[in-house]
Amino acid sequence: MTYQLSERDKGILGAIIQEYVSTGEPVGSRVVAKKYMCTISPATVRNVMADLEEMDFLYQPHVSAGRIPTPEGFRYYLNDIMEVKTLPRGEKSLITRHMSRTTGDVKETLKEASALLSSISRNASIIILPRLETFLFRRIDFVKLDESRILVILVSRAGMVFNHIVHDEDINPELLVNYANYLNEWCSGLSIQEMRDMLVQEMSSEKARFDSLVRHAVSLGMTALDRVEGMPDIYIQGKESVFNSPELANLDKLRDIVNAFEDKGRIVRILNSVLEDSGVKVLLGEDMEGFGMDDFSLVASRYYRRDVPVGSLGVIGPMRMNYSRVIPLVGYMAKILSDLLEDV
């Protein structure tokens, strides 16, 4: 059911959420009246709080306690009450300064971004790295591991590295070097899909038909590219700040969230499901597919390379997160990363 609150009721709900975010404790009517709504009596605040509880925006842990916002209360607050602040100039400068020091290696850049997100938000940060196929290829190398296994090393111009093992016939290491040199000569500067298209075309050419080196190089190259589209890497930093939150005083809840952080495949699916549109998104508790984070929330955004979404980043913390601060932080970090990836 959709509720329309008066400006007074919105003010009271907003005050309760601000106080709860600050203290983590149930909020009483006297605190709201004295600290936030000086022109309204505690009795009036108490009546409004009872109405908000009927709407499922608040709940009372026990009879003598104040109220705590529910996920529905937070959702209404996010959609209809909260004003997103501009990220403070000092934090923008901190992010810009740190990110400008990165070496140009994409993984190191994203690791630094993840550390900054966690440090500034004081919550856990998650960054999903771009897939290798979103970048231009620089070189390929083959390393013989044994009689049937070859290590494939693919490197993009941006410094992204993708390693995997393929099975093939017993190939002399010198021939592997020759195959790699041939592929590097023809494929450097192409995207992974362009490499695939080129190799398919080359395999049907006269040259591949009569030149054994070309034929074997192209065949091995096609095998090497088959497994590039795997699960993307993830950086998660600052988990300790989540583990230490009062919401995890219960050992079963702590176990659930530890398991949730270990299930990286589910993290990727959740982020991908909410990031179909641009902008910063917020997932509250049960929105996260029974992720074991009922008392937590995720603030996330995509980041881009040349206007094409290539990855995503987010902050996970208690549901009583300071959204007016975290939302612009996530949005600004996504913008900085997109700018840095523009030319790679």
- Taken in order of first residue, the domains within the chain and their CATH numbers are 7-81 (1.10.10.10), 89-130+233-341 (3.30.450.40), 133-225 (3.30.390.60)
Give Cβ neighbours of residue 144 (< 8 Å, ≥ 6 apart). Answer: 150, 151, 171, 173, 176
DSSP symbol at 138: E
Residues near 242 by beta carbon (within 8 Å), at least 6 away in sequence: 123, 124, 248, 257, 296, 316, 317, 318
**Counts for the chain of helices (H) and strands (E), in that order:** 14, 10
Tell me which residue of 306, 325, 235, 320 sits closest to 271, measured CA to CA. Answer: 235
* DSSP summary character for residue 27: B
DSSP string, 287-314: GGTT-S-TTEEEEEEEEEETTEEEEEEE
Cα→Cα distances 45→30, 32, 72, Å: 8, 7, 19
- Kindly give the confidence (pLDDT) of every residue in the chain, 344 residues in length, as a single tens digit, with 9 standing for 90 and above: 677 899 999 999 999 999 999 988 999 999 999 999 888 899 999 999 999 999 999 999 887 778 999 999 999 999 999 988 889 999 999 999 888 877 666 778 888 899 999 999 999 999 988 766 667 788 899 998 988 888 988 887 766 677 778 887 888 889 899 989 988 888 888 887 788 888 888 888 777 676 788 888 888 888 888 766 655 678 888 888 777 776 666 666 667 777 777 777 778 777 777 667 778 999 888 777 666 677 788 999 999 877 878 889 999 888 889 999 999 999 999 999 988 887 66
pTM over 0.85: no
Q: Widest CA span of the chain, in angstroms? A: 92
